[in-house]
Amino acid sequence: MSDATDPVVSRETPPVPTSAQGVFAARLDLAERYAALLADAGVVRGLIGPREAPRLWERHLLNCAVLADALPEDADVCDLGTGAGLPGLVLAIRRPDLRVTLVEPLLRRTTFLDEVVAELGLDRVEVVRGRAEELHGHREFSVVTSRAVAPLGRLLDWSMPLVRQGGVLVAMKGASAAEELAAATADLERHGAGVVEVLTLGAEVVDPPTTAIRVEATRPSRLGWDAADEVRGASRPGRAQRKRKGRRR
Q: Is residue 7 part of a domain?
A: no
Consult the annotation and say whether 133 binds a ligand: yes
Q: Is residue 17 part of a domain?
A: no
Cβ pair 38, 89 in contact under 8 A: no
Cβ pair 67, 170 in contact under 8 A: yes
Alpha carbon dihedral 105, 111, 113, 114, in 10-degree steps, equals 120
Q: Rg (Cα) of the chain, in Å, rounded?
A: 18
Q: Is residue 164 part of a domain?
A: yes
Consult the annotation and say whether 83 binds a ligand: no
Cβ pair 157, 192 in contact under 8 A: no
Structural domain count of the chain: 1
Query: Kind of pairing, strands 193-201 and 210-217?
Result: antiparallel
Q: Rounded to a whole number, what is the distance in angstroms from the first to the last CA of the chain? A: 37
Q: Is residue 204 part of a domain?
A: yes
Q: Is residue 216 part of a domain?
A: yes
Consult the annotation and say whether 219 binds a ligand: no
Element containing residue 203 per DSSP (H, E) = none
Q: Is residue 136 part of a domain?
A: yes
CA atoms within 13 A on the CB side of 60: 28
Element containing residue 55 per DSSP (H, E) = none
Q: What is the reported pLDDT for 73?
A: 97
Is residue 136 packed enough to be buried (19+ CB in 10 Å), middle (13-18) or exposed (0-12)? buried
Determine the structural domain holding residue 216 and report its residue range: 62-245
CA atoms within 13 A on the CB side of 27: 18
Rounded CA-CA distance 203/210 in Å is 7
pTM attached to this predicted model: 0.86
**Residues near 232 by Cβ (< 8 Å), separated by ≥ 6?**
133, 157
User: What CATH number does residue 77 fall under?
Assistant: 3.40.50.150
Residue type, position 33, single letter: R
Q: Is residue 34 part of a domain?
A: no
3-class secondary-structure state, position 99: strand
Count, residues in the chain: 249
Consult the annotation and say whether 81 binds a ligand: yes
Consult the annotation and say whether 147 binds a ligand: yes
Q: What is the reported pLDDT for 11?
A: 60
CA distances from 99 to 94, 102, 142, 170, 246 (A): 12, 10, 10, 16, 11
CA angle centred on 137, ends 134 and 142, rounded to 5°? 100
Q: What is the reported pLDDT for 47?
A: 93
Element containing residue 90 per DSSP (H, E) = helix 88-94
Q: What is the reported pLDDT for 225?
A: 67
pLDDT in tens, 60-70: 999 999 999 99
Question: Whole-number mean pLDDT of the chain?
Answer: 88
Q: Is residue 30 part of a domain?
A: no
Q: Which of 143, 2, 17 is nearest to 69 (CA)?
A: 143
Which parts of the chain register pLDDT below 50? Answer: 1-10, 227-228, 231-249
Rounded CA-CA distance 88/83 in Å is 9
